[in-house]
Amino acid sequence: MQAKIKMKMQNNKRILLCLAHMSGKEQEYIKEAFDTNWVVPLGPNVDGFEKDLDAFVGQNKKVVALSSGTAAVHLSLIVSGVGPGDEVIVQNFTFCASSHPVTYLGATPVFVDSEADTWNMDPDLLEAAIKDRIAKTGKKPKAIMPVTLYGMPYQVDRIMEIANRYGIPVIEDSAEGLGSRYNGQMLGTFGKYGILSFNGNKMITTSGGGALITSSEDEWREVMMYATQYRESYPYYQHEKIGYNYRMSNICAGIGRGQMTVVDDHIKHHKYVQWLYEELLDNVKGITVHSQPNTGEYESNYWLCTITIDPELRIKGQENAYKNIVNGAVGGAGGVIHRASSAVTDCQPNDNVEALRIYLDKAGIEARPTWKPMHKQPVYKYAPAYVNGISESIFKMGMCLPSGPCVSDDDMKYIVETIKSAIC
């Protein structure tokens, strides 16, 4: 096995977690943008990309193409009326882009932990949190933000029933869930607003970018106003509200139009990767592949395939886990320049998870821990949190494996063989 690892590295191939794959059409649309000099945040590619997305998500929804998924979260909160002193219920097990925009607006995120089946927001804990916030603050939270974690649908029926009963709008963070469905309906179309991301590692990419799904022409128009500096219809610049420079560029949208020609192929491939991991890891003791509940409602796009590692499993090199301070971010976050002050924190993956990450990294395979729960992030140490231990437990045992459209059968077999060779 070690010989195979060395050979792989000699071939200079690194298997990345989720790398974008271009279809060929992207170049045509980008060339057209340059040829016609449409290189600004509007133009035929933006219009065309939005129409493609409208058709793809269905449910008579309208989509606004934006500069990032984070921008979409920010605008969805603004048009929901979130402001200073308000509270927004946010899934605890998620990336920080779900919660940071809440703080941009002077509001407070209230974190709600996960249930074990989908790893998404626990409906029972959600209702308990709503009741407790009303009792403590005298008012309802302004919005509820469930997440399609790693592409896995949340318990839509129960979350929506609770939200409707209390009259609280739902903002669906489906940044990782393009193409995921619940009872046949696309995620991101159940709530008042839906969020999509087209970052370089997502199901399709526009290099960077995102979108906000709205429910009506009027809402679409208001979101568009906020996304374009809220400029009024005069022959000069007049602004009656504070707006933002959040529209997607015509060049990025050209990439998106090309990607939309292969979006169904990408989704099929991610599902196939999940199936093959389940097959190849089925009899590997101590490794469990997380999969969607087998009840018929859930259809995950499996944006990332995830595993949990039994705490008792021993990995080669485990005794050296967390011995060295990491000098930058794992996973290519190029803007990270702070050097950590310590090799450990008060909440981190188990030693065997970190040891396996390092072992795979040396074999040319990128793997990462799952998201660190928001209530354990230092920046949110004072935020209200309703936790049951599930997300923290998964974080300590979980790992994301390469899942993108560039991952081949041979790559997956190599990854699994490397995992097997790592086990003591």
CATH 3.40.640.10 assigned to 25-260: yes
Give the pLDDT band of residue 1 (cuts 50, 70, 90): very low
Task: Work out the percent of the chain whose per-residue pLDDT is above 70.
Answer: 95
As a whole number of angstroms, the distance between CA 20 and CA 96 comes to 22
Q: How confident is the model at residue 3 (pLDDT cuts 50, 70, 90)?
A: very low
Predicted local confidence at residue 114, as pLDDT? 98
> Among 8, 7, 24, 26, which Cα is nearest to 408's?
8
Q: Residue 335 above 70 pLDDT? A: no
Mapping DSSP onto H, E and C, the string for 327-369 reads CCCCCCCCCCCCCCCCCCCCCCCCHHHHHHHHHHHHCCECCEE
> How many residues belong to the chain?
424
Specify the pLDDT at position 388: 98
The arithmetic mean of pLDDT across residues 219-232, rounded, is: 96
**CA-to-CA distance for 170 and 85, rounded, in angstroms?**
19
Domains of the chain, residue spans: 2-20+263-422, 25-260
pLDDT of residue 136: 98
Chain mean pLDDT for the chain = 94
395 pLDDT exceeds 70?
A: yes
The better pLDDT of the pair 329, 310 is held by: 310
Cα Rg of the chain (Å, integer): 22
CATH class of 2-20+263-422: alpha beta
Please state the rounded mean pLDDT for residues 266-284.
97
Q: What local confidence, expressed as pLDDT, does residue 325 receive?
A: 85
Helix (H) or strand (E) holding 65: strand 62-66
Rounded-to-5 percentages of helix, strand, coil across the chain:
40, 15, 45
**pTM for the full predicted model:** 0.95
Query: Does position 330 have pLDDT exceeding 60, yes or no?
Result: yes
pLDDT in tens, 156-179: 999 999 999 999 999 999 999 999
> Where do we find the tokens 């060339």?
31
Q: Poorest-confidence range of 29-43, 203-217, 221-235?
A: 29-43
Section 320-346 average pLDDT: 79
Residue 104 has pLDDT above 60, yes or no: yes
What is the average pLDDT across 188-199? 98
Query: How would DSSP label each residue in 112-176?
Result: E-B-TTTSSB-HHHHHHHHHHHHHHHSS--SEEE-B-GGG----HHHHHHHHHHHT--BEEE-TT
Distance of alpha carbon 183 from alpha carbon 157, whole angstroms = 10
pLDDT value at residue 13:
78
- Model confidence at 6, pLDDT cuts 50, 70, 90, reads very low
pLDDT in the model for residue 270: 97
Question: Which residue(s) pair with 145 in the sheet?
Answer: 90
CATH topology of 2-20+263-422 equal to that of 25-260? Answer: no
Three-state SS at 119: coil
